[in-house]
Every structure is written in structure tokens, then in C-alpha cells.
Amino acid sequence: MTRETSPHVPTAPVIRSDVPGSFAWGVFHERHPELVRQVLDALPYGPAQRAEVERLLAESITGVLEPPAESAHDHAQWLAWGEGLWGRTWGEVPFLWAESYFYRRLLDAIGYFGPGAWQGVDPFAPFKNAELAGAAVDDELAALNKLDGLREDQRAEVLLSSALWGNRADLSFRITSTGGDLAASDLLADDSAAFWAEVRRASGGRIALIADNAGRELLPDLVLIDHLLAGGLATEVVLYVKPRPYYVSDATTTDVLLTVERLRASSSGHAKAVGRRLWQAMNQGDLSVRTHEFFCAPLSFHDMPADLRSELAGVAMTILKGDLNYRRLVGDRLWPPTTSFGETAAHFPSPVAALRTLKSDVIVGIDAATVAALDGTGEAWRTSGRHAVVQVNRAG
């Protein structure tokens, strides 16, 4: 995959994880040690795998970046992506790059790339599957029956809101978060009306949804997709997922299939009907699940390769889910929060709607009064996961 030259010239400082006390620093120094402990407890890995995982953790905190082994299938690709970075500490390279490489190396350490018996075994499957099988999902499936009694506009509002707040239910995030209840004031930018206007404008066309997490986020994403297809708002939906396990709970094709099956097997009539329709839509090609290596690349969407760029340029609208996709959309930089969302998202090849709860320092498109009020609370509002945005950029 070649790296494209970006037409966009960002100006804000790139986020790095070498500032003690910063959110990014905490991801490497607090979150990852806890994540590694949970991963090693979740499956009976042998001594060699365990030692490799511990070695990675130590390297990422106190060592320097080492490229994948020369024999690795993606050695050349990573050598190119990391040009100029190898041999530097993990903290002094872009946070987005380092975090992505951590997940690549974690898969390597547990034998995911093989050859061997652990090839293709998803280290995060125990967490994702437990969530999907859990009582909270039962409740959410049962609650879908209430949609039947709603007017069309009310149903649309509920489905958008569920897809948005479903992003709070992220497993990686919940490792160190305490969570909380929803409040309208938690929505810092609300382009919901523009979202539906864009859907109507796209009517009859192809809509892309770039997924984030499996389980309790993918579930409402799929229900929203069913709404778009069943209501004739889209003739075709392309659901983009990760090509392999990533950022703990990110959805892969396997997760999509398990979620559709969970819907189909539900005792809730509405959920069952959604599951059946999605299955049929996949049979007919109205819903396709696609992926691309770039979704696990350590780069922002400015550097999207030409084939993916032209694929996304061909859709009427892209719905972009979650925090990481947002970082990749606007650039993982310390933008002044009042920076225009439209300007930072203008490079994206289609009109784009970001549905994101805030779990990292990056944020744009917030008015000055809101920023001042949030700063005044003393709360870590950019990273707590409590707040969210619906932001739309029409140009594409």
C-alpha cells in the first residue's frame, strides 16, 4: 500500500504520549498494563507468548520502537509506515501511530499471525463475546420492541441516539472508566438535523458506515442500517470493519456475523425481524461487509490509499463511528476546540457524519462558550467518555 500525499496542511501540535500526566501518557503507562493483564488472564497462553507480551509492554514503556521481524508478512509495510521512527522511544512518536503499532505487536506476541495453532485466534474475543452474550444486550434487544409504537421521526431520533451513545460501551475504554448516565447537556455539538438532511439527500444511494466497536455499539449500528435499508433511505449500505482484532473491542467480520445471529435468535420480535432482514440484505447484496488493511494502519484518513479513497468517493454519505475514527478524520492533534469541523473534515472523499463520544484529547467544532463552561468544571471532559458530538460535513 502506498502512502498518499496529503493536500491538507494541519497546523496544531501532534499528540504524543511522552507528557507525564497527559491522557496519552496514561494509555501507555496505566491502561496498557491493565489491558495486558486482562488479555493474559482471558486465554491460557503458554510461557513463550506470555513472555513476548510482557516484553512488548516493557518495550512500549521504557524501550525504543523495534520493527516487526524481517520474516513478518507485513515487515515492508511497517518499515515504510515507520520510516524515521524506528529506534525512537514510543512516547516521542505520534500517539496515534504508537497506539496502533502496540495492537499490531500484541497480535504478533500471542501468535495471531502464525504459523501455529494460535494463528487467527482473536485475543479480545472473550471480552467481546461475553458482552454480546450478556444481560445488558438482552435488555437492549427487548427494548427494541418499543420502536414499533413510535412515529417515523421519533424512531429515527432514537436510532441515531442509540448509535451515538452505543460508542460509550467500549470495552477498552471501560477498563479505567466509571461510566455514568446520559444527559442532553452531554451532547456538545448536535448536527442531528443535518445528519437526516444528508441521509435524505443521499436517498436511494449507497451509504457507508465505518464501524467502531463490536457488541453494544455494533448492535445499534446494525439496527440503524436496517432502518436505512428497510425505509428505502439507502438502496445499499457498506459496513466497513477492521481486518483483524484491534483496539480491544473493534468490530471484525466475525463480530458482525455473531451480532446478526444474536438479533436473529432473539426472543424480541422486533430484534428477530431486524436480524432476518439484515441476513436477507446481505444475501441480496444490499448490505455488504467490507474491510481494508488501512483500517489497521497507524495513519489518519488524510493518508488514505487511492483505492480506498475512490471507494469512499463513490458513496453518497459516510457515517463514521467512534473516537479513534474521529482522531483519524480530523487529525490526532491538539486543535483549539473551536476549530471548524468542516475545515478539518473537508479532505474526506464523501460527505461525512461523525458519531463520537469523547475519549481522547482531540476535539473540534465546539463553540467558545461551551468550551469555557466545560473547562470551568475541572472535569476531564475531553476524555471522560461522558460527552458526545454529532458533526456533519457536507462537502466531500
Ligand X SMILES: O=P(O)(O)OC[C@H]1O[C@](O)(CO)[C@@H](O)[C@@H]1O
Return the residue of 128, 327, 386, 387 that touches ligand X, per CB under 6 A.
Answer: 327
Among 14-22, 72-80, 121-129, 167-175, the segment contacting ligand X (CB under 6 A): 167-175
Cα(349)–Cα(301) distance, integer angstroms: 10
| 8 A C-beta contact, residue 387 and residue 186 | yes
Region 347-376 residues binding ligand X, contact defined as CB under 6 A: 359-360
Give me the least distance between CB of 91 and ligand X, in Å please.
14
Give me the least distance between CB of 3 and ligand X, in Å please.
22
- Judged by beta carbon, residue 329 or residue 366, the one nearer ligand X is 329
DSSP element (H, E) containing 236? strand 236-241
Alpha helices in the chain (DSSP H): 23-26, 32-42, 47-62, 75-81, 95-109, 125-133, 135-143, 152-165, 171-174, 192-201, 218-230, 253-264, 269-284, 306-313, 322-330, 341-345, 368-377
Q: Is 167 in the site for ligand X (CB under 6 A)?
A: yes
- The set of cell numbers assigned to 19 is 507528557
Q: Is 322 in the site for ligand X (CB under 6 A)?
A: yes
**For the window 215-254, what string marks contact with ligand X as x by the rule CB under 6 A?**
--------------------------------x-------
Pairing label, strands 388-393, 352-357: antiparallel
- Judged by beta carbon, residue 213 or residue 344, the one nearer ligand X is 213
Cα(176)–Cα(124) distance, integer angstroms: 17
Q: Is 170 in the site for ligand X (CB under 6 A)?
A: yes
- Judged by beta carbon, residue 100 or residue 266, the one nearer ligand X is 100
Give me the least distance between CB of 32 and ligand X, in Å please.
9
Q: Is 103 in the site for ligand X (CB under 6 A)?
A: no
Region 17-76 residues binding ligand X, contact defined as CB under 6 A: 27
- Judged by beta carbon, residue 172 or residue 393, the one nearer ligand X is 172
Amino acid at 374: L
Among 74-82, 166-174, 224-232, 296-304, the segment contacting ligand X (CB under 6 A): 166-174
- The set of cell numbers assigned to 237 is 449500505
Q: Is 387 in the site for ligand X (CB under 6 A)?
A: no
Give me the least distance between CB of 253 and ligand X, in Å please.
18
Match 448509535 to its residue by C-alpha cell.
163
| Total residues in contact with ligand X, by rule CB under 6 A | 15
Cα(330)–Cα(328) distance, integer angstroms: 6
CA distances from 22 to 11, 96, 275 (A): 20, 14, 42
Region 80-99 residues binding ligand X, contact defined as CB under 6 A: 99
Element counts in the chain: helices (H) and strands (E):
17, 7
Chain positions contacting ligand X, by CB under 6 A:
27, 99, 167, 170, 172-173, 212-213, 247, 322-324, 327, 359-360
